Amino acid sequence: MKKRVIILGSTGSIGQNTLDVLAALTKEWDVVGLAAGSRSVELAQQANAWRPEAIALTNTEAGRSLHDALDYAPNVHTGNHALYKLVNETDCDCVISAVVGTDGLPATLRAVELGRRLALANKEALVIAGSLMMPLAKETGATIIPVDSEHSAIFQALHTGKAEEVTRVVLTASGGPFRTWSIEDMAKASLKDALAHPTWDMGPKISIDSATMMNKALEIIEAHWLFDLDPNKIEVVIHPESIIHSMVEFCDGSVMAQLGAPDMRTPIQYALTYPARKKGPARRLDLTASITLRLEVPDETRFPALALGHEVAHRGGTAGAVLNAANEAAVQLFRDARIRFTDITTLTQQALQDHCFVADPTMQDILEADRWARTEVTRCTTC
Ligand code: NDP
Ligand code: MG
């Protein structure tokens, strides 16, 4: 019997790469649900090609034009709860969570509640609500498999030893487009500069997160929750070639690394086929060419966002929700040309410092902290 998969965020960078992977796995997988935010034309085109039984679009206005663009009659969900309804009402084996930002949280949590396999790209969901999501997965038996390339690498390397034998986990970071820039130059950086990632082709929000290195801070927190790791055991190194996707060091001194071309189709496919491996469309490393693999110590003075990852992983509670929401709001302000590039991290740091911390939060506390941080960041830029 074919397995059934829902893709949340199908029109985005991860979503499109997922469909590319699934095109080579049509004998094993049926796409039964596709979901996006507002790009109705792209969603309808994907639906017409893949024929899922249900689709979802959050933006109600854009949703009105969906029916006209469809050449068959799937169940259509629109509005704020559309993705949640799609996951709730469509039977499936696996949910690919690839929405960007906090908006992916309710549907992602519902997939965990229903005990589905969750292929998780939406790292923000774990950063915000890892304290609720991981125990819930244990309770329902949901398997969470990382799509993020670093976490996929760690997930694979961890299989070579026992949890108590791990001495440290080393997340690699490309360093982004500003790896060699001064703080003064970064303060003047344009949106185009920030979006010009040297090794990965990704959506705009994560590209800007990579430029500030906030992405690595989010990934420290993601690794902490996913693998139940003490934050002190998580380190970051700069690896400009993006070939070593991350490493795990064991107590005997062995370091297990996963290597590959910088192509998200590899970790996406592994999240779908695990524990099996299949031939797929991802680019290969040319191991006959001479390859240089550099490792550099990150510079926390030029990239202060990095330190926030450890701080928030240690604090737990509502700190993750505040970090994530403040960063999302600040990234949007930068995209709207209302703040400088370097203000993104400053505003996020300020929100973290000022917020009313809750150590053992409920979902209500988390959503409240998220709302507060967004308002606070916007208020700080207008006062
Ligand atoms: P994109 O911006 O390319 O795509 C985002 C997707 O989310 C789109 O399908 C978009 O729909 C959808 N979306 C946005 N807002 C909503 C909403 N309110 N309701 C429903 N759907 C919504 O992002 P990426 O694919 O780059 O990133 C997705 C996630 O994966 C992020 O969490 C990112 O951190 C993570 N990730 C991405 C990597 C990459 O290589 N791109 C690598 C590792 C992790 P629409 O098109 O209609 O706007
Ligand atoms: Mg990553």
The string of DSSP codes covering 338-353 is: SS-TTHHHHHHHHHHH
Q: Ligand 1 pocket: which of 81, 108, 206, 210 to mutate (most atoms <8 Å of CB)?
A: 206
Alpha carbon of 203 to ligand 1 centroid (Å): 6
The ligand that comes nearest to the alpha carbon of residue 264 is: 1
Same domain, 45 and 164: no
Same domain, 10 and 86: yes
Angle, CA 245 vertex, CA 239 and CA 248 arms, to 5°: 100
Alpha carbon of 100 to ligand 1 centroid (Å): 4
Q: Is the CB of 92 under 6 A from ligand 1?
A: no
The ligand that comes nearest to the alpha carbon of residue 107 is: 1
Is residue 348 included in any domain, yes or no?
no
The ligand that comes nearest to the alpha carbon of residue 80 is: 1
Counting DSSP H helices and E strands in the chain, the numbers are 17, 11
Neighbours of 27 (CB within 10 A): 6
Is residue 278 included in any domain, yes or no?
no
N-terminal to C-terminal alpha carbon distance within the chain: 60
| CA 80 – CA 22 distance, rounded (Å) | 27
Q: Is the CB of 83 under 6 A from ligand 1?
A: yes
The tally of domains found in the chain comes to 2
Is residue 98 included in any domain, yes or no?
yes
Q: Is the CB of 76 under 6 A from ligand 1?
A: no
> Atom of ligand 1 at shortest distance to CA of 16?
25
Alpha carbon of 11 to ligand 1 centroid (Å): 8
Same domain, 65 and 181: no
Q: Residue 13: which domain range?
A: 3-146
Same domain, 20 and 141: yes
Same domain, 105 and 162: no
Does residue 275 have a cis bond before it (omega within 30 degrees)?
Answer: yes
Strand ranges for the chain from DSSP E: 3-8, 29-36, 54-57, 75-78, 94-97, 117-120, 144-146, 166-173, 234-238, 244-250, 255-259
Residue 355: the pLDDT is 96
Same domain, 142 and 163: no
| CA 75 – CA 55 distance, rounded (Å) | 6
Is residue 267 included in any domain, yes or no?
no
Q: Specify the amino acid at residue 1.
A: M
| CA 231 – CA 127 distance, rounded (Å) | 13
Domain end, chosen from 146, 166, 194, is at: 146
Same domain, 66 and 185: no
Is residue 114 included in any domain, yes or no?
yes
Same domain, 124 and 66: yes
Residue 383: the pLDDT is 62
Is residue 375 included in any domain, yes or no?
no
Same domain, 135 and 222: no
Alpha carbon of 89 to ligand 2 centroid (Å): 31
The ligand that comes nearest to the alpha carbon of residue 151 is: 2
Taking CA atoms only, the protein residue closest to ligand 1 atom 40 is 202
Is residue 279 included in any domain, yes or no?
no
- How far, in Å, are 25, 110, 125, 345, 359 from residue 333 at the CA level? 40, 30, 21, 12, 29
Nearest to 269 by CA among 57, 70, 28: 28
Same domain, 102 and 187: no
Same domain, 90 and 210: no
CATH of the domain at 56: 3.40.50.720
Alpha carbon of 245 to ligand 2 centroid (Å): 8
Residue 124: the pLDDT is 97
**pLDDT tens-digit profile, the chain (383 residues):** 999 999 999 999 999 999 999 999 999 999 999 999 999 999 999 999 999 999 999 999 998 989 899 999 999 999 999 999 999 999 999 999 999 999 999 999 999 999 999 999 999 999 999 999 999 999 999 999 999 999 999 999 999 999 999 999 999 999 999 999 999 999 999 999 999 999 989 999 999 999 999 999 999 999 999 999 999 999 999 999 999 999 999 999 999 999 999 999 999 999 999 999 999 999 999 988 888 999 999 999 999 999 999 999 999 999 999 999 999 999 999 999 999 999 999 999 999 999 999 999 999 999 999 999 999 999 877 76
Residue 196: the pLDDT is 95
Domain end, chosen from 128, 146, 164, is at: 146
> Atom of ligand 1 at shortest distance to CA of 215?
34
> Atom of ligand 1 at shortest distance to CA of 40?
47
Same domain, 27 and 104: yes
Q: Is the CB of 146 under 6 A from ligand 1?
A: no
Is residue 85 included in any domain, yes or no?
yes
Domain end, chosen from 122, 146, 170, is at: 146
